[in-house]
Chain A
């Protein structure tokens, strides 16, 4: 036990460096995915046939194939078409595009749950569709989405591990080099597991705080009272 503790402390700075990259990849992927997901969910819910088709294709394509395949397609595949991205940019694109497809579905679910009624009410006082979406539907849908959406940051954080396969120096990549250096894969991966657990724990705390802070008085998740 003390041996493990010493091991942990010795490699902690290294692991934290990797964890920093992991957190950065998660934050970037989440942010890009949020923008994409929001646009895709709106296009799928309110768009005309063309935009619905675009949104559905995007969502199904990225939810229906492995993240690793998407990453390899971007990093190894696109250069064949004359488009070359750096490791970091490829990782960012793959994570953002992938997360966007999932976030689109979380957001779409809550937009649908808000219902046509709010749209009708907004329009009845003279708001345009866009204004109603912006001022009425989204503020409610985003709050409503939080509990289900909260899976996504945690899931994405863990998914970032795959990008070590294109040698982005995040936590898993550090783990691999520490394991190679120490010939102690058990100790290494246990230590890394602890770091992942700590990150997920903190992330969960932040998400729960957001959920509480955005609560609407009297407006419960079970739905609206008549």
Chain B
């Protein structure tokens, strides 16, 4: 069971003279959902970008399926196919329909025949509940729908792990639930996920482990119960208290509206 799909060892990122994060050791086992929380500016986004090699590192290693992908000469474009990424601001390809957004990686990267790619893309859109929006352009979709298409686009590549960078923080409150719902379903389907989010309801219900990061290092890591009810560090307690205060109100409103957490 303890079979890490994704592992970072002493991963370090430096911009100029700024150490963004240092010596980050993370293990994500197969089928696990790990939630990363932490104040803004802590390096969470940079960490995700470092993991899928969208930015260089200044030390340490990343392993995917037991292979070191940060090794010199490793084919980085090839690696990224196996790491799905969902961005805070969706970043759909604006000139392509929802279906084409999901298909383009299959066609241009995986070189899949068109009919097969179309079928696979439709299945992924179905998975996020958007098969009836296949021919809509991103500009014709709500934020929540765009983010679900972005999830389908990443899933279409059959990644070993999915990275989410605050996937709901650019959304209107009433649209957050539909995205979290899709992510919770993925977790139930045992997709391996690393999720940066401020959605504490999601973290509590869905995460196998929560990692609290602050100022470029991991302060504490443990099960949702441990972190929420028995935090080892005052900083963890303070952050959770603040974040629940800050986001809890929005969440409560949503719960009343939708009659469920997400």
Contact = CB atoms under 8 A, between A and B. Distances in A.
Interface of A: 117-118, 120-128, 131, 135-136, 139-140, 143, 216-220, 224-226
B54 A126 contact: no
B138 A121 contact: no
B95 A219 contact: yes
B181 interface: no
A117 B88 CA distance: 11
10 contacts: A117-B91, A118-B91, A120-B91, A121-B91, A125-B84, A125-B105, A126-B78, A216-B94, A219-B138, A226-B143
Interface of B: 49, 52, 54, 77-85, 87, 89-95, 104-105, 108-109, 136-141, 143, 153-154, 157, 170
B140 A127 contact: no
B20 to A, nearest CB: 17
Contacts of B154: 124-125
Contacts of A120: 49, 54, 87, 91
Given A117-B91, A123-B54, A219 B80 contact: no
Contacts of B139: 216-220, 224-225
A120 B90 CA distance: 11
B109 to A, nearest CB: 4
Nearest to B170: A226
Contacts of B143: 226
B92 A125 contact: no
A143 B95 contact: yes
Contacts of B92: 121
Contacts of B93: 118, 121-122, 136, 140
A122 B54 CA distance: 11
Contacts of B52: 124
Given A126-B82, A218-B141, A224-B138, 14 more contacts: A117-B87, A118-B93, A118-B94, A123-B77, A124-B52, A124-B54, A124-B85, A124-B87, A125-B84, A125-B105, A125-B157, A127-B109, A128-B77, A218-B140
Contacts of A121: 85, 87, 91-93
Contacts of A123: 54, 77, 80
B89 A218 contact: no
Contacts of B109: 125-127, 131
Q: By CB atoms of chain B within 10 A, which of A120, A121, A122, A123 has the most?
A: A121
Contacts of B153: 125
Given A124-B154, A225-B139, A219 B54 contact: no
Given A117-B91, A126-B80, A219 B105 contact: no
Contacts of B83: 124
A125 B92 CA distance: 12
A214 B48 CA distance: 36
Given A124-B52, A127-B77, A117 B89 contact: yes
